[in-house]
Structure formats: structure tokens, C-alpha cells
Amino acid sequence: MAHSALAAAGRDSGARLEALLGDPGEAANPAGYRSVLAADRAGVPPAAAERLLDAFGLHHEFVPAGLGGRLTSMAGLVRVMRPVFRRDVALGVGYGTNSFSAAADVWIEGTARQRDWLASVVLGGGRATSAPYETAHANDYVRGRILARRVPGGFVLSGSKRMTSNLGRARALTLFCRTGPGDGPRDHSVLLLDTAELPPARTLMTVRRPAVGLRGGVYGELEFRDCPVPADTLLGAPGTGIETALRSAQISRTVLAATVLGAVDTGLRTAARADRNASPVLAEAFVNLLLFDSLALVATRAVHLLPEETSVYSAAVMYLVPRILATTLYDLSSVLGSRAHAGGGGPAILSKHLRDVPAVALGHAGSLACQAAIIAQLRQLAARSRHGAEPAPATLFDPHGPLPPLRLNAGALALACGRDSLGASLAVIAEEITGGTPTERALGSLAAGMAAELRDLRERVLALPPLDPADRAGPLWFALTDRYTHLLAAAAVVGVWWHARGRGDPFLADPAWAAAALHRLAGDLGLPTPRLPPECWTRIQHEVRARLVDPHSYDLFRVPVAG
């Protein structure tokens, strides 16, 4: 373990967990690459690594402090989960985010009794899981519908969900089911079920093995055959299932997207260690990590600072997981060649991350769900921004800034508000950037291009006929939403760099990474991409090397890592 990791260990739980999980390259480490790769091949969770997390009490991090746990901020949760995802995405999801996502439904919508019960389950080492409702263009991970018929004293459940995470070992289940006649916005409800109380004769659980990604995860098909459940299982008001799902997704998407970045940090470290040709891919990958983390930071901090806007930022950051993070892993695989597919430890962790990272985003169905959350308010967002919206506060962009208390409730987390302070910040900051050095000038011109593209997007959205959700929304809406998510990432980059100037981290204050990040995003958007000054890339390459030699994370936080 790196000495600096130990030194930092006393301070926060992320550093303590990183130190506890230790050097992932060590063959005997139960949370090391060799161990998690063996579990992946066997199709089972890495038991020894899970015991380490048990000993650490990671599950306490998922329960709000007010209910006896250690959860006080989204930023803290992301910090403590990244070390897990650096080693094993399946472990991070199976042990952590899956339970947290299901629990978030309850923290937000539950009665005092329901929240107390779930807190006691999770704090006692039990798990929670969720069976979401079937969204558009469903795949195996989303498919399946449960019907809940109202009967005196409760409900009778029928139907099945094909892939439910941790089925058989999760005590609590948030079940999204249809309680209305159709697929309207008030036709779904959520039930909070104690799986230990379900009548076995009416509940079938069949083990399902994931084909490619998250092979070490436990999944099962859940089928109800006229299964009675009591009325007090209802979570939230009847007919509010879709709203609960949307609200909870604002939290779970943000945490999952922000933490899965850890796997790509490992990918970069692995490739940098193996690199023999000073590949330019390494610096590009680091830039991609920083640009993704900029939006992840904004989405995470927005839960505290701008909770009514998180519907947009959480959907955008999750939408970009396959586009920025998964593609970066492929870029890094070009450095390793076929070594990335070798069976043992070391470089082989990259091929596992290559399979696992796209899996957390749920493919096309996942993209559509994120796009729908934005498309539903895109017109209002465009209309509001036309009149010069208020930019975001500087603290939204500060990786180390204090946060107001976390409010996980339906009142704080609006389904939508039609406001985008992040985009407004881009417009304001882009006007103020004055370039002294060639890199600053390049950054200024790229930022101005992004601001112009955001204005153009606004006009294109307003030129479309208003959206009729009952009618079809053409692919144009989806293409514009894709552009918008990239522009939000650009806005986050500009904001993080702008507010880092003159602060503690000289690398973040340097325009090099921000210019390179906007350059990459401009390419994604099909905008002009003038060549960046060579010193810009030199600065970034130097930082990649520095964080390899003295192991520090490849993200905005630059925390010590164990190797």
C-alpha cells in the first residue's frame, strides 16, 4: 500500500476504505484483481472482498444519519464507493449501489415506520433491491411487468421480472407494479416488501446468469402467482410509482455514474503501467475522466445545492456513461492489445471492466430512460434560458466545498423545474475568459463555441412542434438531447476550471485539461476542433505519469490510491 494512502486514512471513510482494500495488484489480496477476476469467471460474488466491506461497515454509508447510518452527503457516498468500483464494478453494484438505489426509494417516499424498518434491515447487514417498471424498448434487465390487483386488505401480485439483482439474498424489495388500467402516469405504484414474509408457494425465484457484464453479480427471475401482500406495503401514495421511480433515479443515477468512474481510473492506471510507446491515448483518457467527473461532480453536488434541477443533471451524467467511460476503456485497450484479454491478473482487469461498465448503464433501454427525463422538459429549459437564467453558484463546481444538509424527500427533489443553472453558467463564464497563453486562448475559443452551440440548440428545440407524449417524438428530439448532455458536460468543465483558478490544486487551475476536455466534446458535437498547443498535452501527460508514480486517483479529487 502506498504510504500516502495510509497517512490519509484517518481522515475520511473513502481513504479508510481505500487503505483497507489495499493494493489491488497483490496476488494474495482478497479484494485484488486476481481474486475478483476468479470470482467473475466462477460467476459468483467475491466472498472475501464482501467480508472486507462487511467489516468496514460499508452498508452504514447507505443509511441516512438521522436513521442511525453514516449517510450525510452524496459527495461522501461517492468518495467512499469509488475505491470499490476501482476494483470490481460487480462488487460495487452488488454490495453497494443496488442496495442504495432501492433504499433511496424508501428514504424519499417511505413512512417513518417503513424507513425505520429498512434502516434496521440495512444496518443489520441485510440488502435491499428493486424491481423497476418496464420502460420503453426494454431488454432483459428491464423487462417484465407485475400487476397488483387491489383486494380487501391489500394486493394480489402476478407477473414476472426477468433480471432482479440480489434476488434470494435481498431482504427488502421495492416492487414497481401496475395498479391502474393502462400505461398512464398514474397507473403504477410501489410496494415495499419483506421477502422473508412472501408466501413461498406464490413466489418463484429462478437464478439467471448475466451473459456478459457483471457476471459475478447475483441475479434472478422473480415471478408472482396470485401472491397476496398486505395493504401497508404500499410505498408512497397509490398511483405515484412513476414519480417515485423518477425521483429516486435522480439519486441513484448520480451515485452510480459518479462511482463507476472508478473502474476507468483503474483502466488508465493499468494501461499507463503497461505502456511502452508513450501512447497519446493515456492523456486523452485522463481528459475524458476529468470531463466526466466534472459533470458527475455537478450532479452530485446539485442534489444538495440545486435539488430541483437534478432531474436533468442525473440523467445527463448517466447517459454519458457508455459514451465517455465505456469508449475510454476501449481506447485504453488499444494500449494493452490482447493482453487486456489475458486470463490472470494485471491487464485482464481491463477486459472485465470493459464488460461491466456498459452493463451498469443498461444499454439502449437505459439511454432512453435518461433521454425521456430530459426530453420531457427540454422545451421549458430552452424557453427559460432564452431570457438569461441565473448561473449556478460557484460552490457547485468546488470538489472540496462544504455542502448544505442532504434532504432526501419528495418536496426537495422536484421531478422537473425547467431550469438549468449549469448551462447558464457556461454562457456567463465563456464571455469572461480572456486568454494570455495559447492554451487559455484555445480554451476561450472552445468555450465560446460551446456557448454558441447551446444557443443554437435552444433555438432548434423551440422550433420543434411542442411534444405530445401520446404521439411519437421523432429521433430529432433524441439527437438534440444527446447534444445537450455533451454541452452540459462542457459547462461543467468550464465551471470547474474557472472556479479552481487561484485555489489549492494547480493542475485543476491550469487551463490544459479544460481545453483538452472541450476539444474532445467539440469533436463529439461535430464542431470545429483547432489543434491544441503541444504544451497543453505535455502538461496532461506529465500529470498522468505523476499520478502513476505516486499513486493518486485519476479524477478531480486527486486522492491517494493503494496502487
Partner 1 sequence: MTALAPWGDGPSIREPVEVAGADADWQRPVEDLDACGVAVVHARLAGWRPPDPRAGGTELRGLLGREWHRYLAIADPEIRGRFAASRLLLKHAAGAVLGGDPKELELGYGPTGRPYLRGCDQIDISLSHTEDLLLVGLTSRGLIGVDAERASRPMYRSGLGRRVCTQAELASLTGLPEEERDAALVRLWTLKEAYSKAIGQGMRFRFTEFGFTASGFTASGVAPNGRPVRLEHPDGTVCTADEWSFRTFAPAAADGRVLSVAVYDTGFGRTTDIALPTLLDSSSVQAIQRVLARTQ
Footprint of partner 1 on 485-514 (CB under 8 A): none
CB of 160 to partner 1, least distance (A): 6
Cβ-based nearer residue to partner 1, 243 or 293: 243
Q: Would you count residue 278 as binding partner 1 (CB under 8 A)? A: no
Query: Distance (Å, rounded) from C-alpha 4 to C-alpha 16?
Result: 12
Query: Distance (Å, rounded) from C-alpha 263 to C-alpha 563?
Result: 13
CB of 149 to partner 1, least distance (A): 16
Q: Would you count residue 251 as binding partner 1 (CB under 8 A)? A: no
Q: Would you count residue 139 as binding partner 1 (CB under 8 A)? A: yes
Q: Residue 505: phi, psi to the nearest 5?
A: -100, 105
Q: Would you count residue 386 as binding partner 1 (CB under 8 A)? A: no
**Grid cell locating 24:** 489491488
- CA-wise closest residue to 514 among 431, 441, 425: 441
Choosing from 19, 20, 131, 362, the residue that interacts with partner 1 (CB under 8 A) is: 362
CB of 15 to partner 1, least distance (A): 34
Q: Which single residue is written with the C-alpha cell 475524458? A: 288
Q: Which 3 state secondary structure label does DSSP give 210?
A: coil
Q: Would you count residue 369 as binding partner 1 (CB under 8 A)? A: yes
Q: Would you count residue 284 as binding partner 1 (CB under 8 A)? A: yes
Cβ-based nearer residue to partner 1, 51 or 341: 341
Cβ-based nearer residue to partner 1, 78 or 214: 214
DSSP 390-408: PPPPGGGG-TT---PPP--
Cβ-based nearer residue to partner 1, 125 or 337: 337
Q: Would you count residue 453 as binding partner 1 (CB under 8 A)? A: no
Footprint of partner 1 on 36-75 (CB under 8 A): none
Q: Would you count residue 183 as binding partner 1 (CB under 8 A)? A: yes
Q: Would you count residue 176 as binding partner 1 (CB under 8 A)? A: no
The region of 49-57, 67-75, 112-120, 135-143 touching partner 1 under the rule CB under 8 A is 135-143
**Grid cell locating 75:** 459527495
CB of 88 to partner 1, least distance (A): 17
Choosing from 46, 213, 267, 449, the residue that interacts with partner 1 (CB under 8 A) is: 213
Choosing from 4, 72, 135, 395, the residue that interacts with partner 1 (CB under 8 A) is: 135
The region of 19-27, 359-367, 505-513, 554-562 touching partner 1 under the rule CB under 8 A is 359-367
Footprint of partner 1 on 294-313 (CB under 8 A): 311
Choosing from 478, 507, 533, 545, the residue that interacts with partner 1 (CB under 8 A) is: 478
Footprint of partner 1 on 153-172 (CB under 8 A): 159-160, 162
CB of 553 to partner 1, least distance (A): 24
Q: Which single residue is written with the C-alpha cell 401497508? A: 232
Distances (CA, A) of 269 to 177, 346, 517, 537: 43, 10, 19, 18
Cβ-based nearer residue to partner 1, 120 or 334: 334
Query: Distance (Å, rounded) from C-alpha 289 to C-alpha 86?
Result: 13
The region of 106-114, 198-206, 332-340, 447-455 touching partner 1 under the rule CB under 8 A is 332-340
Q: Residue 463: phi, psi to the nearest 5?
A: -80, -15
- Give the bridge partners for 189, in sequence order: 177
What residues contact 11, with CB distance under 8 A and at least 6 apart?
A: none
Cβ-based nearer residue to partner 1, 70 or 178: 178
Which amino acid is present at 467? Answer: L
Q: Would you count residue 289 as binding partner 1 (CB under 8 A)? A: no
Cβ-based nearer residue to partner 1, 58 or 142: 142
Q: Would you count residue 417 as binding partner 1 (CB under 8 A)? A: yes
CB of 434 to partner 1, least distance (A): 29
Choosing from 60, 364, 545, 558, the residue that interacts with partner 1 (CB under 8 A) is: 364
Q: Would you count residue 322 as binding partner 1 (CB under 8 A)? A: yes
Residue 175 burial class via C-beta count within 10 angstroms: exposed 0-12, middle 13-18, buried 19 and up: buried
Q: Residues 460-467: contacts with CB within 8 Å, 24+ apart?
A: 461/378, 461/379, 461/381, 461/382, 462/379, 462/382, 462/383, 462/386, 464/379, 466/379, 467/375, 467/376, 467/378, 467/379
Which segments within 105-252 are labelled E, that is strand? 128-131, 146-151, 154-165, 172-178, 188-194, 203-207, 219-230, 234-235
